[in-house]
Structure formats: structure tokens, C-alpha cells
Amino acid sequence: MPRYALKIEYHGAPFAGWQRQADQPSVQEAVETALARLEPGPHRIGAAGRTDAGVHALGQVAHCDMAKDWSPFRLSEALNHHLKPAPVAIVDCARVPDDWHARFSAIERRYLFRLLMRRAPATLDRGLVWQVPRLLDVAAMRAGAAHLLGHHDFTTFRSSICQANSPVKTLDSLDITETEGDSGPELRFALRARSFLHNQVRSIVGTLERVGAGSWAPEDVRAVLAARDRAACGPVCPPQGLYLAGVGYPQDPFA
């Protein structure tokens, strides 16, 4: 059976997350339902990562097996037709080897978090950013973020329901960029690692927001990391500002 890699973009608001659930809508279910309209029978797709309820994706990657030998362009066009009106789109499609796996073949994940700094309620970006009503100290946040780079035990930044075998991860990069968007001043956090723990990104951003607000000093981030205690973490920020931005592979299947 031919195997295909799918690059998927979605707005997470209507969904209970990526993973199929018995009684709530999911992105996985939307894509599998569209596949079933092309070829009858149950479809089970694998994905590079499971996003939570309300989290968006710019470059989620999944794979599917089809009975028919589709051209990648025709398959993506047909899926996009059947995905309507759900806010899900196949932005690229490629034929891959039979042993290629969206999750297990991946060597990195990239996340983006958007934080809007203004008092007036967001309108155009509502549901797409986390909004705080004050300007934050970006230099202090960058200083705090520096303590998180590298190979660490991230127990402090791990959800209590995380299913990962180990809390030890390597955070390869964490860049904070200040931009002046159409809605106002915005901070963009770009994080890159081979893999992430459940709620790790939202816990990190929530902690750094406390540093930017002046409630914590940058050096406090080192202390809470070393504590290896979930109770030491800052507030976990809401999901609507988080995006799965991309997934890296030894060879880009979409190149």
C-alpha cells in the first residue's frame, strides 16, 4: 500500500486536540473521515505529535496508507475538498517509503508561541494569541530563557499526566522576538527540540511571562528548573497562542 506524508495546517479552536476521541471532535478524526470518503474502510493515521485542545498547527506532519496509487497533488486536493468546512488544510503531500513514520522518523519539533501585549481586547487575533495587559521586559525574559537551553530534567515544566518515559530532554533553541503586529506589540517564542513533554512549552512561556512582568528574577528560572518540582513552575499559559510550527526529518519528504 502506498504511503504518503501529509503536512497539515489547522485552527485548533473547534477541536479537543489532535488525537481521536470517542465523544469530542479531533483533527485526527477530521482527516481520517476525509480519507474514508476517498477510499472506504477504516483509516488510522500516524502523526508527529499530539497537540492539545485549542492548539494550532502550521506544519503538523502525519502519514497515511492508501490502496490506490494517488499522485500527491490529487490526494491533497481531494482531501482538502472533503475536509471543508473544518479549519483543516493539507498544505503539502509527498510519497514516502513504506517504513517512513511521521513520529518515529522525526528528529526535531518546532513550536511557536504568540503573546500579545495590550489592554484592549484582541479582535482580529482573538483565539490566536495569549493576551496580557502590560508590556513585558523582553531582556529579562531572554536572560531567564537562557537557563533552560541544553540537556536538563524538565520535571518542573511537565504536566502531571505526561506519558513520556523520562522528563530529561534537550532544548536546542528558545528565541524570543519582539514584533509590532497589526494588533499591537507581540512576543514570539520559537522553541526547537527533538521532542517535548506534555505542556512543556506552555509551562515555559508561562514562567517566562512572570519574569517579564517583574514578579520573578531571571535567575529564578534556574532555581525552579533545578527544583524538579511541578509546584515550582509558573502558571501554565492558555493554549490559543501555541502552534506546532514544523517537524524536521533527516531528509525533508516535502523538498
Q: Which of 23, 52, 182, 252 is catalytic?
A: 52
Cell numbers 494550532 correspond to what residue? 56
Q: Note whether 36 and 43 are within 8 A (CB).
A: yes
Please state the separation of Cα 197 from the chain's center in Å. Answer: 11
Q: From CA 121, how far away is CA 61, in angstroms rounded? A: 33
Contact 53, 17 (CB under 8 A): yes
Q: Are the CB atoms for 138 and 176 separated by under 8 Å?
A: yes
Q: Which residues contact 202 (CB under 8 A, 6 or more apart)?
A: 113, 236, 237, 238, 239, 242
d(CA 189, CA 200): 13
52 counts as catalytic? yes
Instruction: Name the percent of the chain in helix, strand, coil, to the closest 5.
Output: 25, 30, 45
Instruction: Kindly tell me the sign of the dihedral angle through the C-alpha atoms of 245, 252, 149, 200.
Output: positive
Q: Where are the alpha helices (DSSP H) in the chain?
A: 27-38, 72-83, 138-146, 200-212, 218-227
What amino acid positions are annotated as catalytic residues? 52
